[in-house]
Amino acid sequence: MTEYSALLRRNPAYRNLWLARVVSNLGDWFNLLASAALITSLTGAGTAVSYLFLARFLPVFLMSPFAGVLADRYERRLIMVLTDVLRAVTVLCFLLVRRPEDIWLLYVLTVVQFVLSSLYTPAHSALLSNIVPPADLVTANALDGFTWSTMMAVGALIGGVAAAAFGVTTAFVLDALTFLVSAWFVLRIGYVPRAEPAGEVRTGLFQLVDGLGYLRGRPFILGLSLVKAGGALIYGVVNVLEIPMAEQLFPLRGDGTLTLGIIYATVGVGTGLGPLFLRRWVGDARNGLLWGIGLGFSLLSLGVLGLGAAPSLAWVIVATLLRSLGSGSLWVFSSALLQRIVADSFRGRVFAFEFALLTLIQSIGTLWAGIALDQLQLGIQPLFLMSGALGLVVTALWGWFQARAALRVATA
């Protein structure tokens, strides 16, 4: 861990960006657990939970292309500060949801929160490359992934206990406070000049078309930008299925909230450790990171298949650890490669495209999971098995893409 702590010591701008991520991610998991617990207590319907995830994913899909244009046109740091403050206000309004007839308000507020998040994420990913030198990008992304995962583990576990013991109000208030603290850390970064000039400022639509043209003319970058969406094809239903699995199949002392907190904590451990372990094996070179992505797809698929065959909570934890080792590696390695090779003037739009496609696939998966559970009565574990089988197909497609990329380099 010495190289990670050394990066934090010698790069104060990245240190502040990292601290902002620490506190913000901690609150995010409080919010998710509180929202899921509130919807379950007020409705008890699988489709209601699906609508929660749709409210989180669809705004990101719709807004991300325009968010990428903003991240390439305006100061990325100020975009992040403004969205943090507005998200704090939005989350406090969740306290108004108290009765079943107020559920519509929870969905509306969730949409607003994630519209703002869609503006924050491309700016964050693009800013990272401006404040971290290329030689440190894999280290920074691995540390970011580990931080997200650690905060997920801590936030999910504490959030599950807090929601069960003190109610959802505490979780929402803490989430709002974390956004304000995050904004303060981002402000401390100071002005960050672009690595490349932003170029001619044209209308947002033209900038969006330029970004798509940039990807179309670079198939290797396009393939990398599809990695996270490929992972979402595999785990798109998992977010929805974990909640009824915790409530119906493996509740602890009759309470699924605590079980869900343990599952999320396990995901946090796996997504954090996966990139760290695989990185020591595959290295930081391009070919090694491509192999790491292939291993990530394989582990993710096997883990989801394991959830479909789980006879006990202990089995669920092991399978969850396996699938999260894979998903964490996909995220870190693909992000590091993109940050290395994408031109700074297009970076915001590329990351926005990547995030938009990811959330579209997640939205389709969550909607399908809700329909399959409530209307088609397919069952929780058969749906896991179907997703795991799809994962094996995605893994094979990645192998084909990697072989094509290697052949292109060999014949160049």
pLDDT at position 300, please? 93
pLDDT at position 44, please? 61
3-state secondary structure 202-236: CCHHHHHHHHHHHHHCCHHHHHHHCHHHHHHHHHC
pLDDT at position 204, please? 47
8-189+201-411: CATH topology is Growth Hormone; Chain: A; (1.20.1250)
pLDDT at position 296, please? 92
pTM higher than 0.85: no
Domain boundaries, the chain: 8-189+201-411
User: Tens digit of pLDDT for each residue in 339-388?
Assistant: 888 877 777 778 777 877 887 887 788 778 777 877 677 788 888 888 88
Ranges of residues in the chain whose predicted pLDDT is under 50: 195-202, 204-206, 410-412
d(CA 83, CA 76): 11
Distances (CA, A) of 301 to 77, 237, 364, 391: 37, 13, 18, 5
pLDDT at position 121, please? 80
pLDDT at position 89, please? 93
Label residues 294-314 b or e (16+ Cβ within 10 Å = b).
bbbbbbbbbbbbbbbebeebe
pLDDT at position 217, please? 79
Q: How many C-beta neighbours within 10 Å does residue 327 have?
A: 27
pLDDT at position 384, please? 87
